[in-house]
Structure formats: structure tokens, C-alpha cells
Structure 1
Amino acid sequence: MLCSSMNHFLRRSLVCLGIFLLSLILNSRVQADTLVDLELILAVDVSGSVDKKEYALQMGGFAAAFRDPDIYDAIERGGPNGIAVTVVQWAGRGEQAAAMNWFHLHDRASVEKFAAQLQRLRRHYWGGDTLISQALKFSAREFTGNGFTASRLVIDVSGDGGVEGLGLTLKARNVVVKSGIVVNGLAIETDVMDLREFFRDNVIGGLGSFVMTAADYGDFHTAIRRKLIEEIAPMRVSGVTPS
């Protein structure tokens, strides 16, 4: 009888200990997520249509944009918690990569550190197709388990092509937007006619989404600066294609 009572006590103690340890683990995971005002993925085209010089112009344009005082002002206007941002590089099927860790941009030092890494970011692919549908699917998964939490999730897609058949881009866009993610676009109009219209109809989506254009890669810095200010500052309510 005594042994039976002891065994029952031990079992209950072990169960209670297990529940306690599980609660500690779950609490530590919840506490590990840093609250930010925006989680932003810069989805950068590195397909075969982007040569070495054009890639350098893209990354140099991103770096210069983040060093612009207006970008830091936009981060401050966007809320008190800063933003979380990372880069995804994409090309054809199976050619997508998380090109860096997530950064928490909350002061000038963190913004400068991020800009410096953008400037020297290694290119993961040097060829392949331009499949925006694959870029969207991959990027959407990168929000999960990234250590941050925000009410606004945005994928910023830039590219000089990506016109896929069978409605593949539109289908991928719809799935991503349905999950609560906003998709914005920067159409680099070097090779494909009416690329802005394709982005508008098939790529962008979600509340306040919009598309902008760059005439070529030389225009990338100016265009991406304007686009980032629009994305980082408080959400627009109307209009999808600012001029």
C-alpha cells in the first residue's frame, strides 16, 4: 500500500515537473520574439537577366537608400519598435535563398550596419529563369520563426521580368496575400514591355499595396528610396500605384 502511494506520488510529481518544464520552454519562445512595427523582406532578382553590373547597382542602391536620412525618419514615424528586415535572392525554380539574417533596425547604428552588409552581400545565383511565383512562396515562409512579431508583414519584390504563363504568379500572390502578407513591387523596365501592368495585376496585393517603376538599373536607387519610404511609414489606406 505504501509502495503504491509512493509510485502514485512520483508519477504525479513527474507529470507536474514535465508540465512546468514545458511551460518554461513555451514562455521562453514567446519572450524570444521581438516586437517590431514592420517585418519586411526585400526580394531581389538575381536571375540570368541581371548581369554583374546590374546586381551591383541594385545592392548599392539598397545600401544608399537605407543610409538616406529620410529612410531613418520613416522608420521613426512607423512606430516606436523599429522594423525587422532581411533579403531574399531569387531566380528560377529551386533558386531562392535567404541571403542574410534578419536585422532589427531601431537606431542609426543598426541601420548603418544593415546598409554596410547590403553593400557587400554575396550573390547566390548567376543564372536561371525569373519566376516571381517561386520568390513569393519562398519569401512568405521566411516570416515563420524569424524571432520577430509584427502586425504588418510586407514582401518587397523587385525585378526586371517574371511574366509566367498559366497564371502561376497570380495564384502564388493570392495565397500569400490570403495569409495576411502585403506584396509590393518595383518593376525595372529594361527588358519587358508593360512590366508595371503585370506587377499591378499579378504581383502586388493586400491592403495598401502598390507598384513603382525604375526606368533601368541606373534609376534603381532613386526608385527604391521612394518605395522604402512608402512601405516603412504608416500604412496607406487608398491607392495602389503611386506615381
Structure 2
Amino acid sequence: MTTATQLFAGCRQALSLGLDVSGSVDADEYRMQLDGLANAFAHPDVQVALLAWAAHPVQISVFEWSGPNDQRLLIPWTEVDAAPVLTNIANDLRAVLRIPMGPPTAIGSAKLFGGALLARKPECWKRTLDISGDGMSNTGPLPRDTRLGENITINALVIGADDAASGDARHADIAALSSYFRAWVIQGPDAFVETALGFSDYERAMVRKLKRELQGPSLATLPAAPATRTGNAIPAWKTLVAARSQ
């Protein structure tokens, strides 16, 4: 008997994460961003979400970006099918050393770079680009005019000012930046903006965002099954959902 796993073997989600390393990000903030992402991958809730459906693993890539021609791939596409894989990703991120990049902020170019990465994963049921940033784009293609494929979702993690002494001004700043990312950057019906009140809050915000992004696929995102049986046969997607719930 053909099982649901055999019918639907493959990648359930390709998730590419782009980290802002433009001139507004100092050395300490750079380290908090890389280590924060590493720690988020080690968080128990995130690991449960990533490994919940082992027969249909998530694939992850990570890159950093600044100016129009400044992008660097840190983690190439990696299939996450076991906890040690996440440990290796986290260790690799903690070991990354910063290299010189241009100071501008080119969000549109970052979207194009992430879109090119996701284009290599057409077999994945869901494709998601995650852009982290602490400022508005000031060079390169306009983010609003940089649209990726219809089947790609773009989410954002907006990072506010770290200075807690700024009080209400800090909240006003992150509200304005969130509105900008919501209007100009994100894409897709389920797209959203997560916020971090400074780089010191980045890890917590990343955990929240990953848990939301890695929610199981709905019936609408499941691949179509071949019509191999007729009559009273149970549709393959119902077999898959039943197997997933056991």
C-alpha cells in the first residue's frame, strides 16, 4: 500500500533569511543579530516547529545584505531533518566574522537576491523570504516595485532603536518603520511584520517570527496527488492530513 509519506515526499517550506548589515549596524549589533538568529534556531519551540514533520523537511538559507551589490551567503540551502543540523547551522552563524560592505541600505536588491535563492527551490510547497532591517531603503531598486513570484511570501523583522532612554520616541520610530515595511517590503496574503525593540530584543522577536512562519501548511498549500484510484477511494490529501494528526 502506498503511504501518504511516499505520495508527498519532499520539502514543505523553503525559508531564506536576509540580515541587514548596512552602515547603521555597528559591530555589537552585528554580533547580536547573528548570535540572536543562532540562538533562535536552538530555541525548543522553534526546533519543534522545524522538526514536527520530518518526512517533509524545511530547507533554510541565510544571507546578509547592505548596498545594491553587497550580499553574502552565510548558510547555503540546508535541509533541516534532525536537531544536529540546527546545531551545525547555529554554530556556523556564531563563527561568522564581519567583512567590509557598503554602508547604504538596498532593500530592493536584498529582495532580488533572496528571490534568486528561492527560485532554486521550486519543489517546495511554500517559499518564504524573511528580511530583517533597521532602516528604510536609500539606494538601489525601490522595494515596493521589486515583486517576486506569486508563490513567494515576504515577511519582515523590523529592528528599532536600542536606546531605551528615548522612551516613547523609540516606539514611534519603530511604528513608522513597521508601516514602511508593511507598505513597501512584505508580499503575499499571509505576509506580516514582526518587531524588535532594538538589537537586544532581536532574538526574542526572531523566535516569535519563526514560530509563526513555520506553522504547518494548510490544505490549500498541499501538492496535488495523482489520480490513481477511483470509486470510494479516500483522496490522497485526506490520507496525508490524517497521517499528520496521528
Question: How is 1:141-156 mapped onto 2 (pairs within 5 angstroms)?
Answer: 141-145=116-120, 149-156=123-130
Alignment equivalent of 2:184, drawn from 202, 205, 208? 202
* Native 8 Å contact 2:132 2:159 kept in 1: yes
Change (3 A) 1:119 1:169: same
- Tell me which amino acid in the other structure corresponds to 1:206: G
1:100 aligns with 2:82: no
In structure 1, C-alpha distance between the alignment counterparts of 2:31 and 2:54, rounded to whole Å: 31
1:162 aligns with 2:133: no
Alignment equivalent of 1:181, drawn from 149, 152, 168? 152
User: What is the SS of the residue equivalent to 1:223?
Assistant: helix
Q: TM-score, normalised by structure 1?
A: 0.75
1:226 aligns with 2:208: yes
Aligned position for 1:215: 197
> How far apart are 1:79 and its partner, in Å?
6.2
User: What is the SS of the residue equivalent to 2:76?
Assistant: coil
In structure 2, C-alpha distance between the alignment counterparts of 1:86 and 1:167, rounded to whole Å: 23
Runs of 4 or more, structure 1, over 4 Å off, are 164-167
User: What is the SS of the residue equivalent to 1:99?
Assistant: strand
Q: Number of paired residues?
A: 200
> How far apart are 1:82 and its partner, in Å?
1.5
Change (3 A) 1:144 1:216: same
Change (3 A) 1:189 1:169: same
* Native 8 Å contact 2:75 2:89 kept in 1: no
Change (3 A) 1:208 1:120: same
> How far apart are 1:142 and its partner, in Å?
1.2
In structure 1, C-alpha distance between the alignment counterparts of 2:217 and 2:106, rounded to whole Å: 28
Aligned position for 1:72: 47
> How far apart are 1:235 and its partner, in Å?
5.0
Identical aligned pairs, as a percentage? Answer: 29
In the alignment, structure 1 segments of 5+ residues that lack a partner are 1-33, 238-243
In structure 2, C-alpha distance between the alignment counterparts of 1:77 and 1:206, rounded to whole Å: 24
In structure 1, C-alpha distance between the alignment counterparts of 2:96 and 2:193, rounded to whole Å: 25
Q: Deviations over 1:68-123 (max 9, x none)?
A: 11011111345632111111111011111222321111111111111111111233
Q: Deviations over 1:16-69 (max 9, x none)?
A: xxxxxxxxxxxxxxxxxx921110111000100101100100011011111011
In structure 2, C-alpha distance between the alignment counterparts of 1:167 and 1:138, rounded to whole Å: 12
* Native 8 Å contact 2:106 2:141 kept in 1: no
User: What is the SS of the residue equivalent to 1:110?
Assistant: helix
User: What is the SS of the residue equivalent to 2:108?
Assistant: helix
Q: Superposition RMSD on alpha carbons, in Å?
A: 2.4
In the alignment, structure 2 segments of 5+ residues that lack a partner are 1-8, 162-169, 220-246
User: When you count helix as a share of all residues, which structure comes out higher?
Assistant: 1
Q: TM-score, normalised by structure 2?
A: 0.74
In structure 1, C-alpha distance between the alignment counterparts of 2:119 and 2:85, rounded to whole Å: 22
* Native 8 Å contact 1:47 1:125 kept in 2: no
